[in-house]
Amino acid sequence: MGVQRAAVIDMGSNSFRLVVYGYAEEDHWQHVDEIREAVRVGEGMGDDGRLRDEPMDRAVRVAKVFSSFCRASGIDDVTAVATSSIRDAPNGPELLYRIREEAHLEARVLSEQEEARYGYIAIANTTTLRDGYGFDIGGGSVQVMRIEDRALRRAGSWPLGAVRMSERFLPDGDEASGKDLKALRKHVRSVLEREEWIKPGDPARAAGIGGTIRNLASAAEKSAGLPQTDAQGFELTREALDELIDELAELPPSKRGGVPGIKPDRGDVILGGAVVLAELMDHCGAESVETTSAGLREGVFFERFLTDRDPPLVEDVRRASVLNLARRYQDNLQHPRHVAELSLEIYDGLYSAGLTESNGEDRELLWAACLLHDIGTAVDYDDHHKHSRYLILNAGLPGFSPREVELIALIARYHRKGDPDASELGPLKRKRDDERLALLSGVIRLAEQLERSRDGSVASVSLTAPNGTVLLHPKLRGDASVAIWSARRNADLLARAIDRNVEIES
């Protein structure tokens, strides 16, 4: 399957961003390149809403850079979109004309509804939100989407973006006073109160995109001591947000970019955005917001990737993430799929025999780890179990929480060698994780060996538990000598996890 490349250029109010995607349609996709520049095209905009000369020059210069990058890299499929700052400015068309003439780039101005739709597509494809509200806090505008059963029911857009609100309500050089924040809050509330369709729901779930929310989530992750801080899958609570607002308000704008997790060039507008988010959450009754590293640009990209679907949504976000990662590093999924089948047969068999509890989440994590257990061979065969963990943690799995990603990575890591140790979860460790991890690692390790020769010679496996022993009954298809021999030598981890002898019939 040929890998194609598509570039999306997002001309936002805070920054312009070029992202290049490599993808095989309906199969897998990934970022392959990116240039981001804090253009601040709406900077210094007065009440007339006109773009100023200097920001316009910056915008044209960066557009030229992006355009020649695409030309030079041989990327023909380039989609450039402009949002609120340019859309709303009376002289926006002038900027677009200059970008067309000087940078040879045809940018499409998204309407409010289109902007909300792409935000919705990004959210629906990279978070677990099925019902609730989607937020997109940009530099210029804010979009709220009401999502029901993963469909976009309604959306609204208002000029409440982080740059605009910070410039209008917060002091340039000082800490923000309670009074400043109050005035900002009041303004946001007055706008939202006119929208009757936004109301506290049940479940009042929310998911958010855009640099503001992503930076706030990263800051909260940093402050919680989490190892990965790319915001993907993190639940930013209202409480953590309040703590961040307090911390940021006590600093002058120039210092806010020094708060770990906040990008330096976003420091001066992050507080405005944070307050807007707090108001949005309160207004929707959301205790937390699920964050994602995806954005509007991914919404645009998904139209390319999932051409046959309208709206372009993957069927199941978590499943799609796992398969995407598995396919990125492996041409053939026959072996990992079979290890997954055998693992789930053992896992379910242990439950049926009354030896373990069982739950859907663990079952899904086990499946994911099986699909991904060998991707580390893309790094090197030696220690590939450790490399699989590294790749899972670093490439990420949209739809899974940071804790779930760490668990999947650890199960994959322990598919061979070593004794699992849940303390590697660090601050994400919970009670009984040692037992969970030992069980799931024990299962995958045994299943991997039953499929050691990678030929499905053990077609399936069932188990019985007579007299304090667990007896596996492999159903053979051809010569399974490798599989049986290997499995017998690798049953001890599972045996310890369930405190039973584990034997394999031949």
String of contacts with a second copy for each residue 395-434, x by CB under 8 A = xx--------------------------------------
Q: CB nearer to a second copy: give 353 or 379.
A: 379
Short-list 205, 209, 199, CA closest to 130? 205
Out of 223, 352, 377, 462, which residue is the one contacting a second copy (CB under 8 A)? 377
Spatial CB neighbours of 126, under 8 Å, sequence gap ≥ 6? 232, 292, 293, 294, 298, 317, 398, 399
Short-list 122, 51, 94, 148, CA closest to 399? 122
Q: CB nearer to a second copy: give 410 or 483.
A: 483
Q: Is 31 in the site for a second copy (CB under 8 A)?
A: yes
Spatial CB neighbours of 193, under 8 Å, sequence gap ≥ 6? none
Q: Is 332 in the site for a second copy (CB under 8 A)?
A: no
- Residue 362 dihedral angles phi and psi, to the nearest 5°: -60, -40
Q: Is 177 in the site for a second copy (CB under 8 A)?
A: no
Q: Which of residues 291-330 bind a second copy (CB under 8 A)?
A: 293
Q: Is 265 in the site for a second copy (CB under 8 A)?
A: no
Residues 323-354 as b/e (b if ≥16 CB within 10 A, e otherwise) read bbbbbbbbeeeebbbbbbbbbbbbbebbeebe
Tokens of 469: 């022993």
Question: What amino acid is encoded at 478 in this protein?
Answer: G
Q: Is 455 in the site for a second copy (CB under 8 A)?
A: yes
Q: Which of residues 213-242 bind a second copy (CB under 8 A)?
A: 230
Stretch that binds a second copy, among 153-161, 295-303, 388-396, 491-499 (CB under 8 A): 388-396
Containing H/E element for 464? strand 458-464
Q: Report angle CA 384, 389, 395 to the nearest 5 degrees.
A: 115
Q: Smallest distance from the beta carbon of 57 to a second copy, in angstroms?
A: 13
Rounded Cα distance between 90 and 79, Å, is: 23
Out of 78, 391, 411, 487, which residue is the one contacting a second copy (CB under 8 A)? 391
Q: Smallest distance from the beta carbon of 66 to a second copy, in angstroms?
A: 8
Rounded Cα distance between 293 and 127, Å, is: 10
Q: Smallest distance from the beta carbon of 67 to a second copy, in angstroms?
A: 9
Q: Is residue 209 classed as helix, strand or coil in its secondary structure? A: strand
Q: Smallest distance from the beta carbon of 439 to a second copy, in angstroms?
A: 25
Question: What amino acid is encoded at 175 in this protein?
Answer: E
Q: Is 492 in the site for a second copy (CB under 8 A)?
A: no
Alpha-carbon distance values, 316 to 56, 298, 313, 319, 323 (Å): 42, 17, 9, 5, 11
Q: Smallest distance from the beta carbon of 11 to a second copy, in angstroms?
A: 17
Q: Quote the crossing angle between the two packed helices 360-372 and 433-450, to the nearest 10°.
A: 50
Stretch that binds a second copy, among 213-221, 283-291, 305-313, 481-489 (CB under 8 A): 481-489
Q: Is residue 458 classed as helix, strand or coil in its secondary structure? A: strand
Short-list 240, 213, 242, 215, CA closest to 229? 215
Short-list 22, 117, 120, 15, CA closest to 73? 22
Q: CB nearer to a second copy: give 445 or 452.
A: 452
Out of 191, 204, 226, 482, which residue is the one contacting a second copy (CB under 8 A)? 482
Q: Is 46 in the site for a second copy (CB under 8 A)?
A: no
Stretch that binds a second copy, among 126-134, 172-180, 392-400, 464-472 (CB under 8 A): 392-400
CB atoms within 10 A of CB 193: 10
Q: Smallest distance from the beta carbon of 479 to a second copy, in angstroms?
A: 5
Rounded Cα distance between 325 and 362, Å, is: 19
Q: CB nearer to a second copy: give 110 or 320.
A: 320
Q: Is 204 in the site for a second copy (CB under 8 A)?
A: no
Q: Smallest distance from the beta carbon of 409 to a second copy, in angstroms?
A: 13
Q: Is 485 in the site for a second copy (CB under 8 A)?
A: yes
Out of 280, 452, 472, 502, which residue is the one contacting a second copy (CB under 8 A)? 452
Spatial CB neighbours of 202, under 8 Å, sequence gap ≥ 6? 285
Q: Smallest distance from the beta carbon of 55 to a second copy, in angstroms?
A: 17
- Say if residues 475 and 461 touch (Cβ distance below 8 Å): yes
Q: Smallest distance from the beta carbon of 27 to a second copy, in angstroms?
A: 17
Short-list 473, 428, 480, 437, CA closest to 455? 480
Q: Is 457 in the site for a second copy (CB under 8 A)?
A: yes
Q: Is 388 in the site for a second copy (CB under 8 A)?
A: no
CB atoms within 10 A of CB 505: 12
Q: Smallest distance from the beta carbon of 458 to a second copy, in angstroms?
A: 11
Q: Smallest distance from the beta carbon of 325 to a second copy, in angstroms?
A: 10
Q: CB nearer to a second copy: give 440 or 480.
A: 480
Q: Which of residues 48-87 bind a second copy (CB under 8 A)?
A: 61, 64-65, 68-69, 71-73
Q: CB nearer to a second copy: give 246 or 382.
A: 382
Out of 379, 459, 465, 495, which residue is the one contacting a second copy (CB under 8 A)? 379
Question: Where along the sequence are the contacts to a second copy (CB under 8 A)?
Answer: 30-34, 61, 64-65, 68-69, 71-73, 230, 293, 377-383, 387, 390-391, 394-396, 452-455, 457, 479, 481-482, 485-486
